Amino acid sequence: MPIVVAILVIAAAWIGADRLAHRAKAGTALPLPGDLAALPEPARAQLRAAAARAQGSPGSGDAAGELGRALHASLFSDDAIAAYARAEQIDGASWRWPYLRAVLLEERSRLDDARTALQSAIDRNGAPGLAWFRFAEIAFKQGRLDDAEAAYRRAADMPPADPFRPGGVSSRRVLPLSAYAQLGLARIALDRRQTSQAAEMIDAILASQPTFGPARSLRASLDANAAAPPASSRAYVPPNDPEIDAIVAMSAMRDLLLKHAAVAARGGDREWREFLIRRAAELNPRDPNVLMELAAMLQATNRATEALDVLRQHEQLVPGDHHTLVEQGRCLADLGRLEEAEAVLQRAARVRDAAAEYNLGTVVDRLGRSDEARAHYEKALAIDPFHSRALNNLGVLLDRHGQGAQAIRTLERAIQADPDNADAYSNLGSAMIGARRLPDALRTIEVAIALDPDAANPHNNRGIALAQSGRLQEAIAEWNTALRLDPAHVNARRNLEQVQRLAR
């Protein structure tokens, strides 16, 4: 169905449109900003090359647009907006330049101008679904629900765009734009007080995208029997935007690279995150912030030895930083060097810090000193009552020592603190099995599997719950799945062999 929107006078919203038109006719080029000295040399070189191309081809929309992209990548937003407007004025066919202009205008909270620019992009051939989605988001913010609904529907129906993949990035983990658009439609239904319709729409999203955190949080908020859920630990991750990703990939600006790396981390987009952090590290090899991000990325991808080397470089730059000591302790623990880890973490814990106490607890727990571990977890929680990992580990420890009811309460607190914590759901399910709450355990473990489909533990725990419910064939399938995901999973193999012996 065609979208119904007001006719917009696009030229009136352009930045300096008359001036840019005059320059285009005169054959002159847009000037570079005057304050390039503060930029990294790669950014300065990139801008100078783009400016030379634009000056050499003053009638080329692509050359003006590429200058806009270089300015965008170097965080000169106003100048990039002007260059995109120039490209748009020269090239009346391309949707790219008004679209990119709209992105920057929206970032600067100039919503009316951004909406006008998006209408210009939409009016041109080939505009992607993201142009419709961004138009819908602005219309929703402005309370124009009919326009927002029509644009969300168009975005949901558009073919998905291929994600941007630079060299070295073989895959991207992204959610489909249609899920975001359907969530927008559900929000409109809620604004119109169509609660049951909104719930059905969100359930449909979660049936195909069970890890979509904003949809899960919104669905939970509709449950009349539940308090409003806490903010997800993974803050909102915007839809994948190939145009913006391409600009970020060419950037030499540390802050822009790390900002998008953090978004990639929240969305589980691991290869893209690594690309961005590696680029930041290549351009800033002695920047402490970059080194900490590099170490965190290496730890998250089970490369503890490399992470430890990076953290030691960081310690040379910032001696005595207790955050560095905490992360070194984590790496040593991951490498099985528990006594060394304990010594480093004891140094870190001289500063009152929840992370130091939590990690010290995990180390002494592995060394068989469970009473000390409990004390450290409780110290961590005294500093930060919402430390989800300390709550998770304390809950497991309590369950292991036969304190099932307290374990369940503690693990439920862990989930309240971090609704995306798959381990906490799996461990809560295990504690519920011990309490003979098998239907509750199965429901809880299914959430863990949805959150982390590649983890073996939830499948092992689900197998136990199914076996105790008398569903042996389903239990065997779950244990086989656990072993496929982790062939060294001792408990899944033991459970499978035991059931198979009983079946003979």
How many separate helices (H) and strands (E) can be counted in the chain?
Answer: 27, 0
Question: Which residue from 415, 373, 412 is spatially nearest to 394, judged by alpha carbons?
Answer: 373
Q: Which of 31-40, 80-89, 201-210 has the highest mean pLDDT?
A: 80-89
Work out the end-to-end distance of the chain between its first and last CA atoms, rounded to an integer number of angstroms. 62
Which parts of 192-318 fold into alpha helices (H)? 195-208, 213-221, 242-250, 254-266, 270-283, 288-300, 304-317
Decide if 136 contacts 155 (C-beta within 8 A): yes
Would you place residue 274 in the very low, low, confident or very high pLDDT band (cuts 50, 70, 90)? very high
Does the pLDDT at position 302 exceed 80? yes
Residue 207: burial class (beta carbons within 10 Å; 0-12, 13-18, 19+): exposed
Share of the chain above pLDDT 70, in %: 91
* CATH 1.25.40.10 given to domain 10-31+39-127: yes
Does the pLDDT at position 148 exceed 70? yes
- Cα(498)–Cα(490) distance, rounded to whole angstroms? 12
* Tens digit of each residue's pLDDT (9 = 90 or more) over 389-410: 999 999 999 999 999 999 999 9
Would you place residue 236 in the very low, low, confident or very high pLDDT band (cuts 50, 70, 90)? confident
Q: Give DSSP secondary structure letters for 310-350.
A: HHHHHHHHSTT-HHHHHHHHHHHHHTT-HHHHHHHHHHHTT
- Cα(226)–Cα(131) distance, rounded to whole angstroms? 36
Would you place residue 15 in the very low, low, confident or very high pLDDT band (cuts 50, 70, 90)? very low
Q: What is the mean pLDDT of the chain?
A: 90
Q: Average pLDDT for residues 21-30, to the nearest whole number?
A: 46
Q: Average pLDDT for residues 256-276, to the nearest whole number?
A: 95
- Cα(160)–Cα(42) distance, rounded to whole angstroms? 33
| pTM of the entire predicted model | 0.82
Q: Which of 205-209, 214-218, 425-429 has the highest mean pLDDT?
A: 425-429
Would you place residue 452 in the very low, low, confident or very high pLDDT band (cuts 50, 70, 90)? confident
Residue 188: burial class (beta carbons within 10 Å; 0-12, 13-18, 19+): buried
Q: Which of 4-18, 316-330, 379-393 shows the lowest mean pLDDT across its residues?
A: 4-18
Q: What is the pLDDT of residue 438?
A: 95
Instruction: Supply the angle between the helices 370-383 and 354-366 in degrees, to the nearest 10.
Output: 170
Q: Average pLDDT for residues 8-26, to the nearest whole number?
A: 35
The domain limits of the chain are 10-31+39-127
Does the pLDDT at position 262 exceed 50? yes
Q: Average pLDDT for residues 91-109, to the nearest whole number?
A: 96
Instruction: Supply the angle between the helices 145-157 and 129-141 in degrees, to the nearest 10.
Output: 160
Q: What is the pLDDT of residue 503?
A: 65
* Tens digit of each residue's pLDDT (9 = 90 or more) over 112-136: 999 999 999 999 999 999 999 999 9
Would you place residue 504 in the very low, low, confident or very high pLDDT band (cuts 50, 70, 90)? low
* Tens digit of each residue's pLDDT (9 = 90 or more) over 370-383: 999 999 999 999 99
Q: How far is CA 378 from CA 322, 353, 360, 394, 404, in A?
A: 20, 12, 12, 8, 17
Would you place residue 229 in the very low, low, confident or very high pLDDT band (cuts 50, 70, 90)? very low
Share of the chain above pLDDT 90, in %: 80
